[in-house]
Amino acid sequence: MQFLLSNDDGIQSDGLRALARAAAPFGGLRVIAPDGQRSATGHAITLSRPLRARPWPDADKPFGTALDGLPADCVKLALSGVLGPIPDAVLTGVNLGPNAGAAVPYSGTCSAAAEAALDRVGAIAFSLDTFTDPRWDTAEAIAGKVLSAFAAGRLPLRPGTFWNVNIPNLPVADIKGFRACTLSRSRFVERYEQRADPWGDPYFWVVGDIVDDETAPDGDLQALREGFVSLSRLTVWNTDADDGWRAAAEALSP
């Protein structure tokens, strides 16, 4: 199996190297990732300018290809075949910080996996539940277990779906296990801090936290709080599963 690896933290990130180490026993690897930080860029793609790619680092044996675009650009370019053979599966991450609940739509790491799912290519997004003192050894070990199951066909995918995996930032021995999860019904509570630049003109920084409005046992944020790895199979087809909306829509017809 040939894997494409990408992320939204940039090709220089330690999480991407942890994922590469985890994936190496299961197939060939090719890395195409942004040339710098692209977190929270969602599923955006670049249309208004050309994309430029270069080996990273600039040495005899580069780790991969650095793209001056967005995470979804990396996957689209790889699946076009322009930079080499089309991969059999796409792996993204390991993201620094969780991509659970309301964070998923904003995540470039999840959106890169979703881009693969749109093209009917299997994909898994990996994230580590911390922004400080990351345990990349834990991320590597858990990603290896997930990839072993994936390679053996024990984590099936349907067209238009991908796996989203969030890993507690704990020693491997302290992780309680794996839990199948739904996305937590969470939201961001934010505010914007206004400051002034040296010329007196205002600028704004967004700050805030994610709030989990539910504590359902199968929610991914709850699983992480309890020390479980959360596994969710997400779909890129976002139609509401509750058909009650159909009657309201059809009632608009004359």
Question: What is the mean predicted confidence (pLDDT) over 44-70?
Answer: 92
The pLDDT assigned to 183 comes to 93
Degrees (nearest 5) of the Cα angle 83, 121, 3? 55
Q: Among 105, 109, 102, which residue's Cα sits nearest to residue 208?
A: 102
Share of the chain above pLDDT 70, in %: 100
Say which amino acid occupies 24.
Answer: A
Q: What is the pTM of this model?
A: 0.94
Answer whether residue 129 shows pLDDT above 80.
yes
Q: What is the pLDDT of residues 60-115, one digit of tens each?
A: 788 999 999 999 999 999 999 988 899 999 999 999 999 999 999 999 999 999 99
Degrees (nearest 5) of the Cα angle 179, 184, 187? 155
What token pair was written down for 148? 């072993």
Answer whether residue 28 shows pLDDT above 80.
yes
Say which amino acid occupies 118.
Answer: L
- In order of 18, 20, 124, 147, 189, the CA distances from 134 in angstroms are 11, 16, 20, 20, 25
CA distance 134 to 129: 8
The pLDDT assigned to 254 comes to 78
Within 10 Å of residue 66's Cβ, how many Cβ atoms?
24
What token pair was written down for 147? 């990839």
Q: Please give the CATH topology (third level) of the domain spanning 2-184+215-250.
A: Stationary-phase Survival Protein Sure Homolog; Chain: A, (3.40.1210)
What are the residue ranges spanned by the domains of the chain? 2-184+215-250
Residue 244 pLDDT level (bands cut at 50, 70, 90): confident
Q: Are 103 and 32 in contact (CB under 8 A)?
A: no
The pLDDT assigned to 25 comes to 97
Q: Are 180 and 232 in contact (CB under 8 A)?
A: yes
